[in-house]
Structure 1
Amino acid sequence: MRDLTPILLLAAALGTPAAFAQTARPLSEIAIYPEREASAQAVALNESRIAAEIAARIVALPIEVGQTIARGAVLAQLDCRDHELSLARARAAHDAARSRQELSEQQLRRARELGAKGYFSREALDARETEFEVVRADGAQAQAQLATAERAVTKCMVHAPFRAIVRQRIASVGEFATPGVPLAALADAERVEVAAQVQPADRGSLAQAAEVRFTGSAGPRKLRLIRISPAVDPQARTVEVRLAFTGDPAPPGSAGRIAWRDPRAHLPAETLVRRDGRLGVFVEDAGVARFRPLPQAQEGRPVLAELPAETRVFVSGHLALQDGQRIATASR
């Protein structure tokens, strides 16, 4: 493309100022605040595969894929007969141990009374005390076994740890559940965040944005910034951002985009000119046009205005300007 700068200068010198009148306006009047966006997805903070804690046959699995269940809802019911029998044995053993402890305590108390009167030897009293300590330890062991059996019975019902959406029904009625083998996969229906991949250059504007929105298949929703990861993905060259819904969350897995308005002033793309291979703008400085290079500027795109708000920027006639040229501006 031909360089039109000499032609423009010649036209201005030949008395055609109306066609190329220079106009400078304060940055505060011409600044724009571009909207940014990035791809995003609603993700559940808890994606859990719930397993049984005891070994037993599955007798009921009252959940279906896609169902939303409350916290504490029954996911699976296991055959508890063996564990109930174990609980009955543990209770009987506990009652027997408690009776032995009561008897041993009575015998020790009587031995101490007789010993105080000189009717019971020191060696015999020591034996009674040792016997009592052994019986008391047996009672503590029986109490622990009873608590273990009671806890095993409570595990015959597998409950949802949070309000959730059933992702997958892994087990089936009649199968034998073993500890650690998943019965169902759940996604947290309440603790949902938005994960977005943002260009590193947009981190500052997002952190300062007054409002961030998530737009997906479930409609627009307002967000609140939680954190911006300092790590850059080596493949995508983006940073991960996490945001929280301020109202009802979108369903986990919903894909969409986040959008926000950059609160920092930007110069319109049409104010940019190229001089000596560099992009920048012309500003008015005491009646003289001064070229201000903008290293971050790109052709056809607004650029961050790292200039004072009162700076007067040329918005017309600037294509023919040269650095240091004295001009008479037409202000608006």
Structure 2
Amino acid sequence: MARIGKMLAAGLYFVGTTAVSSEVYVTVAPVSELQERVTAEFPASAEPIETSLLSSGISAEILSIRARPGDRVPKGTTVVQLDCRETEFRRDLALQDLKQAEIQLQFSQRQAARIAKLAETNIASEELKDTRATEVQQSRVALNASEVALKEAELQVSRCAVSVPFDAVIVSQLASVGTRVSVGHPILEIVSTAVDIRARVPFDHAVDATQRVEFQSGQQTVVVELVVESGAVDTGTGTRLLRFQPQSAIDPGIPGVLRMRSQTRVLPADFLVERNRQYGIMAAVDGKAEFVERPNATLGQPVRVTDLAPDLLLIREGRFKARHGDTLVIRQ
């Protein structure tokens, strides 16, 4: 009998400890207090919209370089001056050829008019009349050719001065004063001061049009606006390109971080628990633990709870231990 009494006592003790173990000590907080906006960060950089090599348009010697690496130069500024004497000589010759063509045309027109009058009285033959008319046409063609040649010579003269085609920063100098450069020889490398912010994000990352996006580099933070989301995905990295326009000035080439803060409020990813192969969150309802399934949740990702009441109490400490139906002891 004594042995049976001890066994009953042990059984009662086991039952008692089991009952106590179903009580889980937890802390809770309402959904409205735990929600936060999602902030995603991606490496980014301020890339110049334009990059150019300023090259020589003629074969000539460099007389002067008026901007050096690091200088900022506005659009239209002459930064390189080439020796233009040979080119100007050719322009002057083209101008003289044009004047000669004008004189020849005037002479041919006078001759043709004189022969035409003589042909009316049969003093000059029709053949001579046609010859003079043809000479007028030939002189007119020669004049047109001379005009084109002069325009080409003037264009060559304009290439003696190398100007920047946009507001730019000089990146590097590729030739020096005194060097004779050929056509197309690069002299200065420049980049535009106008930039866009570029970042590569996972191809399935959803870009919310309402979210606030910032580019941060060091102590500088600039608000940016989405320009384009590339429709092409890099198969090697599984990412797509996003381009943003900064709302304030930023130097080209600066590296930084793109911060995309969503307006949608979510729970931190670590609130997600797994029960019976289902993902969800643990809530406290009338002193009991309740598993609230989140069928669209992904492990490691923030949890959407916009469908839940803001005052619903969620379990904070003890959420991984609590099971559906457990009695909760809520600590402050």
Post-superposition offset of 1:12: 7.7
Show the counterpart of 1:253.
Answer: 253
Post-superposition offset of 1:65: 1.1
Q: Distance in 1 between matches of 2:144 and 2:29?
A: 90
Q: Does residue 202 of the first structure (1) align with residue 205 of the second (2)?
A: yes
Question: Which residue identity is paired with 2:222?
Answer: R
Q: Does residue 47 of the first structure (1) align with residue 51 of the second (2)?
A: yes
Structure 1, gaps ≥5 residues long:
1-6
CA contact (8 A) 1:97 1:142 kept: yes
Post-superposition offset of 1:202: 3.2
Q: Does residue 263 of the first structure (1) align with residue 266 of the second (2)?
A: no
CA contact (8 A) 2:225 2:247 kept: yes
SS at match of 1:241: strand
Show the counterpart of 1:98.
Answer: 102
Q: Distance in 2 between matches of 1:278 and 1:102?
A: 98
Show the counterpart of 1:149.
Answer: 153
| CA deviation vs aligned residue, 1:180-228 (integer Å, no higher than 9, x gap) | 1100100111x211111223343324x441x211111461111111112
Q: Does residue 63 of the first structure (1) align with residue 64 of the second (2)?
A: no
Show the counterpart of 1:276.
Answer: 276
Q: Distance in 2 between matches of 1:128 and 1:92?
A: 24
Q: Distance in 2 between matches of 1:159 and 1:8?
A: 88
**C-alpha RMSD of the superposition:** 3.3
Q: Distance in 1 between matches of 2:204 and 2:282?
A: 25
Structure-2 change in CA distance of 1:278 and 1:110 (3 Å)? same
Q: Distance in 2 between matches of 1:57 and 1:130?
A: 45
Q: Does residue 87 of the first structure (1) align with residue 91 of the second (2)?
A: yes
CA contact (8 A) 2:289 2:322 kept: no
Note the 1:82-231 alignment, pairs <5 A. Answer: 82-189=86-193, 191-205=194-208, 207-209=209-211, 211-217=212-218, 219-231=220-232
SS at match of 1:320: coil
Aligned residues: 311
Show the counterpart of 2:4.
Answer: none
Q: Distance in 2 between matches of 1:264 and 1:218?
A: 27
Post-superposition offset of 1:315: 0.3
Post-superposition offset of 1:306: 6.6
Show the counterpart of 1:315.
Answer: 314
| CA deviation vs aligned residue, 1:263-320 (integer Å, no higher than 9, x gap) | 22322345422112343225799x995642445432xx55241753558855028653
Give the alignment's TM-score, normalised by structure 1: 0.81
Question: Which residue identity is paired with 1:95?
Answer: K
Structure with max Cα Rg? 2
Question: Which residue identity is paired with 1:108?
Answer: A
Moved over 6 A (4+): none
Q: Distance in 2 between matches of 1:224 and 1:37?
A: 15
Give the alignment's TM-score, normalised by structure 2: 0.81
Post-superposition offset of 1:232: 3.0
Q: Distance in 2 between matches of 1:146 and 1:9?
A: 105
Question: Which residue identity is paired with 1:195?
Answer: R
Give percent identity, aligned residues only. Answer: 23
* Structure 1 or 2: more strand by fraction: 2
Q: Distance in 1 between matches of 2:175 and 2:294?
A: 66
Structure-2 change in CA distance of 1:203 and 1:176 (3 Å)? farther
| CA deviation vs aligned residue, 1:145-203 (integer Å, no higher than 9, x gap) | 111111111111111111111101110111111111100100111x2111112233433
